[in-house]
């Protein structure tokens, strides 16, 4: 299969993004994330009070909805959260009320593709790090975050991470300098 041209790639990306937007818009909740945490918003009827709600947060599971009804969201989280630092509130907004759920990620250098594993995924490689205030981080931390994001993308595509790539490059260089040595059994790792 030939590589798509930049124009075709742009079109493919736009189509994928449009499909993603439709899938995400169809969810009965909205969600946003930074590299460190994730927020879920569920709109409900203004007549409900906190005691009418059924919200449960565990390290790896989220359930939220109104008691006696099917939960709006109920599923396993793709990655663990700090339960003690995760909260939920009920807020009155124009036109009703909102359940706001704040999840504190255990791994604060990782984008989530979805809130619960049953929901459609977003393409985390398209997330612009600026959203997570990467610019606020100092150069070293920013470099580390970008490297981890690169490594995560490489891993998802089954390609070597930057460290593995570096090792392979060093080994290759060494092999070229020492053609007399047999590296066929050299183990990477």
Q: In the CATH hierarchy, which fold is given to the domain comprising 6-120?
A: Immunoglobulin-like (2.60.40)
Per this entry, what is the length of the chain?
189
Q: What is the 3-state secondary structure (H, E, C) of 112-129?
A: CCCCCCCCCCCCHHHCCH
pLDDT, position 1: 64
Q: pLDDT tens track of the chain, all 189 residues?
A: 678 888 998 898 889 888 998 999 999 999 999 989 999 999 999 999 999 999 999 999 999 999 999 999 999 999 999 999 999 999 999 999 999 999 999 999 889 999 999 999 998 887 765 445 555 556 677 677 777 777 777 777 787 777 788 888 887 887 788 777 766 665 554
pLDDT, position 131: 45
Domain ranges of the chain: 6-120, 128-180
H/E element, 16: helix 6-26
Contact residues for 138 (Cβ-Cβ < 8 A; gap 6+) = none
DSSP 136-154: GS-HHHHHHHHHHHHHHHH
pLDDT, position 150: 76
Q: How far is CA 32 from CA 102, 107, 114, 127, 168, in A?
A: 10, 16, 10, 11, 37
Q: How far is CA 24 from CA 10, 113, 128, 187, in A?
A: 20, 11, 18, 43
pLDDT, position 134: 53
Half-sphere exposure of 17 (CA within 13 A, CB side): 9
pLDDT, position 142: 67
The CA distance from 73 to 75, in Å, is 7
């Amino acid at each position: 299969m030939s590589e798509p041209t930049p124009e075709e790639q742009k079109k493919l990306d736009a189509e994928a993004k449009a499909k993603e937007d439709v899938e995400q818009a169809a969810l009965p909740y909205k969600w946003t994330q930074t590299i460190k945490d994730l927020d879920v918003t569920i709109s409900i009827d203004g007549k409900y009070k906190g005691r009418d709600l059924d919200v449960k947060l565990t390290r790896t599971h989220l359930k939220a909805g109104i008691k006696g009804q099917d939960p709006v969201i109920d599923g396993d989280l793709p990655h663990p959260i700090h339960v003690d630092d995760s909260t939920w509130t009920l807020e009155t907004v124009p036109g009703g009320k909102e359940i706001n759920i704040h999840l504190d990620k255990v791994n604060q250098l990782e984008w989530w593709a979805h809130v619960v594993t049953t929901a459609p995924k977003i393409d985390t490689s398209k997330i612009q790090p600026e959203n997570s205030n990467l610019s606020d981080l100092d150069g070293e931390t920013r470099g580390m975050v970008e490297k981890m994001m690169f490594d995560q993308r490489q891993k998802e595509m089954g390609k070597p991470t930057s460290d593995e790539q570096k090792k392979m490059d060093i080994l290759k260089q060494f092999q070229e300098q020492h053609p007399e040595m047999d590296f066929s059994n050299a183990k990477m790792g």
